[in-house]
Amino acid sequence: MKRTTAAAVLLALATLTACSSEDNSTDAAPTKTASPSADYSAAEKAAGIPPEPTGADRDALLAALRDVDPALTADEDDAVDNARNQCAAINGGADRLDYLASQRFSGGDVKVTEEQGKHINTAIAEFCKTA
């Protein structure tokens, strides 16, 4: 039994040493990979996500969200991201949009109701049309 086990172990080791993970051949051409920054804006547009607003457009979006609840804009960058992502749901014809808005904009100390979600959807409707 010991001889059989020892022989099996030696055979396994011999097999493993015969397999090398290194490829020493120098004639292989390097492989090309797709760029990770492949036209992301086109993907966003296809998903119904409007471009990130700047300047007066950003201010108008944040003001519309503040009118619903000032707490929604405590972190302005998050508020803009939430609005852009909610636009994907709106423009994509998702079900239960008010619920989705309430979930998307809730976080930390901010708890958004479905009624507020409805107001959020109304507030960002024009912004969503820019997608």
The tens digit of pLDDT for each residue in 91-125 reads 999 999 999 999 999 999 999 999 999 999 999 99
Average pLDDT of the segment spanning 28-52: 74
Nearest to 41 by CA among 33, 32, 30, 52: 52
Residue 38 is assigned to a structural domain of this protein: no
Nearest residue to 131 via CA among 95, 96, 89, 99: 89
Tell me how many domains the chain contains.
1
Instruction: Please indicate, yes or no, if residue 28 is contained in any of the structural domains.
Output: no
Structural domain that includes position 76? 51-128
Confidence bin at 41 (pLDDT 50/70/90): confident
45 in a domain, yes or no? no
**Residues whose CB is less than 8 angstroms from the CB of residue 74 and which lie 6 or more positions away in sequence, other chains included:** 108, 110
Cα dihedral value 118, 45, 51, 130, nearest 10: -60
Asked, for residue 81, whether it belongs to a domain, the answer is: yes
Residue 40 has pLDDT above 80, yes or no: no
Domain presence at residue 22: no
* Within-domain flag for 60: yes
